[in-house]
Every structure is written in C-alpha cells, then in structure tokens.
Structure 1
C-alpha cells in the first residue's frame, strides 16, 4: 500500500473539536439561503450569488423557483437512511474516481450501538492527514432482533440496511450535507441552508472519503467481524440484570491495521442501484438548431449568451442534456 496509514488514536477528541469548529463557522455564515428565502422571501439587498448555469452571478427570482423545485425533488426520495449501494449509485462519477485514486484506507476507530466512527487517509492536496466519517445503522435494532448468527446480521446491516452518514471534509460540508439532510440520510448536524453557490443542482451523495468507506463496509470481512462482535455483545446485554447500557468498542492502531487489505479494495458502483440518478436524454442537433434559430437576433444579454452556448454545441457536433 502507498502512503502513510491514518491514525485511530485521539480520533474522538479530534472529531468533536472539528464538529465544534464547523458549527461555529456555520453560525457566522452570511451567504447561505434559509428555507424561507428559498420559498421566495429573499431580499435582493443581500446580493447573494449562485453558480447555477455554470457562472457566478446574482440570484434571481427564477433561481429561487429552481432551488425550490430541487428541494421538492429531494423530498420525493426522503426516508430514514439509504443503503451503501444506493449512496454509491447516487454519487458523482468524479467523486468515486477520486476515491479510487486518492483514498486508500478506511479504519474503524470506535463503535457503539450501531454507530461507527471511521477514519480514512486524505488526498494529496489535503491540509490534514486523516478524515473522520460517521456511519449510523438506522436499523440496528432490527439486526439485534434478527434470527441467525451475529455475523449474518452484520452482513445484512452493511450491505442491505439503511444507513446515515457524514464526513468532516469540506466537500461534504459545503456540497453534500444539505443533500443528505433533505434526502433523510445525514448523520449528525442537519443543514437546512440551501447550497446555492457550491451545489445548486443538488448533485451527489458521497465525497471521496465516504465512497471509500461505504465500499469497504460492504467488502471487508474484518469490518463485518468487528460489527458482529458489537451485535453479539448488545444481544447478550439485553438479558443481563441491571442497566443494559451499550458497550463502547474502541479499536487500537494495531487492530485497525490488521483489518486492512494488502492493497486498496476496488470501489464498485452498482449499475442497478435503486436510487441511481437518471440523467435527462441529450438534445438532438435538430433541437439545438431550432433553439438557436429562436434566440438568434435577440438583443438582450441573456438571449445572446444562450445563442452563443447553442452555437458552440452545434459547432462541436454534440447534444446537450435537457
């Protein structure tokens, strides 16, 4: 394996400190759209901008309508949690590719009652040496009640059950936390401020650290065995006298490294993931030519910009997504 191994020591304190810094920064943010502003009560005096359409520009009333429609579409997918396969299927190909190339390890640092604290290595341009991922098994109680072995329950938990998750990286914070909140699969702090600049199209589910983690969860026998140990302990505590408090499982650096494969596991995105994003079909050259004819000759700046974009598409002989 290449690169240095992420450290599991001090992971809980580091994550708590990072969460507090993020929360403090979020409270001071002045450029995030609130739910009421998305609904239409936006003051143009704030002069906020968006990248909807590909360029940075002031927000318009039409943008607010587009944002509101995006939120409604996310609501149609909402439920408590999402499977690992579904999350990978919803993720942007670029994020999955970065996970394949840059993130090589994910190691459990702590477990309690179906909640996993996992650390990963960071990318080559990162300012930190590790990232913290939290995964919560929404149906953990069902896993405890299932007949069969703890290992069978653990396998079901990581491969088929609904999960919630979060990552401490900036990509999840600015691009994906709102999407995860609206979709019903965020762990930790919910985000109700619309990411109108960083992700106005509400694309993706996993950052590269989550893509590596959720893929490893499904493939690693060592991780499943660790989760099976937690399930067995929590099944047994129910029958013990006194307080049935969930046990906290901490993992040593040596134990974490023992679970690692000799080389990074392949990240596979299932072609038939139930929530996989379906892109709109591309427009034909005839459609582009007709649209170009419609906008040609108009003198306003928006029409000219649209005409230039259509002419570029036509010149390159490619279609555009509707």
Structure 2
C-alpha cells in the first residue's frame, strides 16, 4: 500500500476541515485592519483607504500598485475570462484544463535540475495517482499524493463537480436503466463540463482566483486579486488537479466508479464510497497514466498511423515484374492488330514449324 494514501474512512471530514480552515483564514485576513487584499470592489473603483499601501510583482520586482497596474489587472481578467468561453456556467472540460495548463503555464520561481517549472511538468513527475474515493450527487472526491510541496502533508483532496450529472440521470431513466446506457452516460459525463477545487496551497493562493473568474471553481469563490503571486493570471490548475483530470478523462477504473455511482441514483441523489481495499487495489493495479496535451495526442496518433501503414506495406505481397515480351512476338501482335496477318494464318505458319522470327518477317 502506498504510504501517502492513508485511510478512506474520515477523508470527507479531513477535506472539510482543510477547506473550512482556508475559508476562515481568508475571511479573517480580509476583515483585518491592515488587510492588503485587493478585492474586486477596490480593483474596479481604484479606491481604498489612504493608509493602505498595496504592492504587486506584475513588473518583475515588488512595486507599489498604481492606476496603470490596476488597468493591467482588469485587462488580464478579461483575457482570462475569454479563455475557451469561460464564465458561461458550463464549467471547463478535463481536456481544456490539460491543454491550457500547457499553453499558458504559471512558472514556479524556484529552479529545478529536472526542468519541472510549471504545474503540468510537476504533475507528470511528482503526482503518481488520483483515486476517486467517494461521490455525493454530482461531486466526486479524489485523493492524490501531495508531491512533497508541504511538510507533513502526504495527500490532497480534489473535488470535481460534474455539470452533466442531471442530464446523465435523465438519459439513464429514459433508457430504463440499461447498463450500456449507464456506461455511455458515465463516459459522456466525465468528458463534459466540470468545476474543481483542491486543498493545496498552490490552488488556494495562485489559482483559485483564476478558477473563480473563469466560472469553474467548485469551492469558495476568491475575490482577492493575486497581485503578488499571480498578477498575470497565468495557469489554470495545480499539479494535483492535473493528475485527477487525466485519470478522470481516461482511466477505466474511474469510469467504473462513475457507472457505479450513477446506478445508485434516486431522485437525482446518490452517495457512493469505496472500501479501503478497493482504493488500495486501484493504486496498486496500474502505473500512472501519462498526462498528454491534445497536440501530443495528435502527434502520437499520426506516428501510430505511419507505423501501421509501414507494417501493411511491408506485409503486402510483392508485385510481380511484368513478363518480358521478345520483339518478334511484339511484331506479330502488331501485325494482327494492323490486319496484315490473321490468327488463322499465324496458326498455319506455326503448324509448318515456323518460329516467331520467321512469322514476323513474313508479316512485313
């Protein structure tokens, strides 16, 4: 059993305690007399208490915020909202999360010898598994290994809210509960719109604001602009969420879990929890799936097609070279076509013992 995983029992309470502590600390920070949180209201109006001096890392170093920085913040917000049509209430797909994490990465400041500087880099190198352990109605709870970022923390909790849950239930009811329909709807649901939340500090301080304004935040909304940690609003998901997105989209064990959850729905409600042994088997049963962008998938698919075409070409029967026709036979055929010889004449000459050379000469 993986040391990081721990117990399934109590995972909901542990996750709730972390999320509740986060919300409490956030509320206290904004209510503090010397709060430096740049709220949406302050961002829009450009006004705050004269005693507050707010800073940003927008231009590289730490500088005081001016009207120019505020304008840039608002511009960055508009760009983030327009990404893939976010803030429409339909959430984001697992595939979009992976592709955006690669296309607009938030780079870590610390250098590493292995070159893992973005969230998707670290997801590939550090986060080995994302296991669904329970689901309540339209929300699925995953546990991932922590990746060593926070001392004393071995696992993190990722919550995925599946936007297509009700439509899936409706389709299954209409089919009469057919098992093929359950599998089809579970597969459609996991590849459709979703929202997410994670218990890690990376999501909390760097990326929750992006998720909030993007319309794909499943936890508490963040209204404080990340003026120090992520003023450019780069990135989309932490390494734990990226691992979960890959497992959600492609893992057969996750698909089976979703089928099981949908089969237990009554009045659009369902509560599913795996046993400890089931979670342990899921972890030990396979190596982590590779986290691939759409471009990487296309490139690999093209290479696979080329390999199959080469294999077919190599196994195809070789075409026989055309049979050589001697010049006398060719002259006889030409004479037959031109009418200077008839088939009966050729047959008679051959009955006399004439060879093709003599017949061809006679035809001239």
Number of the residue aligned with 1:16: 16
Number of the residue aligned with 2:319: none
SS at match of 2:59: coil
Number of aligned residue pairs: 264
Q: Does residue 117 of the first structure (1) align with residue 141 of the second (2)?
A: yes
Q: Does residue 49 of the first structure (1) align with residue 55 of the second (2)?
A: yes
Distance 1:219 1:6 in 2: 24
Distance 1:191 1:67 in 2: 15
Shift of 1:43: 4.2
**Could you state the TM-score of these two structures normalised by the residue count of structure 2?**
0.69
Distance 2:128 2:233 in 1: 27
Number of the residue aligned with 2:42: 37
Shift of 1:6: 4.7
Number of the residue aligned with 2:93: 83
List alignment gaps of at least 5 residues for structure 1.
Answer: 238-243, 274-322
Any residues of structure 2 matched to 1:1-322 within 5 Å, and which?
Answer: 4-29=4-29, 30-39=35-44, 40-43=46-49, 45-76=51-82, 77-80=86-89, 81-91=91-101, 92=105, 94-127=118-151, 128-146=153-171, 149-159=181-191, 161-234=192-265, 237=266, 244=267, 246-260=269-283, 261-271=285-295
Q: Indicate how the Cα distance of structure 1 residues 63 and 89 shifts in structure 2: closer, same or farther if over 3 A, else same.
A: same
Whether contact under 8 Å (1:176, 1:204) holds in the other structure is yes
SS at match of 2:158: strand
Question: Rg larger in 1 or in 2?
Answer: 2
Whether contact under 8 Å (2:166, 2:268) holds in the other structure is no
Whether contact under 8 Å (2:163, 2:195) holds in the other structure is yes
SS at match of 1:225: helix
The CA deviation string for residues 160-189 of structure 1, in whole angstroms up to 9 with x for no partner, is x10000101000001111110100000021
SS at match of 1:37: helix
**Could you state the TM-score of these two structures normalised by the residue count of structure 1?**
0.77
Q: CA RMSD in A?
A: 2.0
Distance 1:166 1:24 in 2: 16
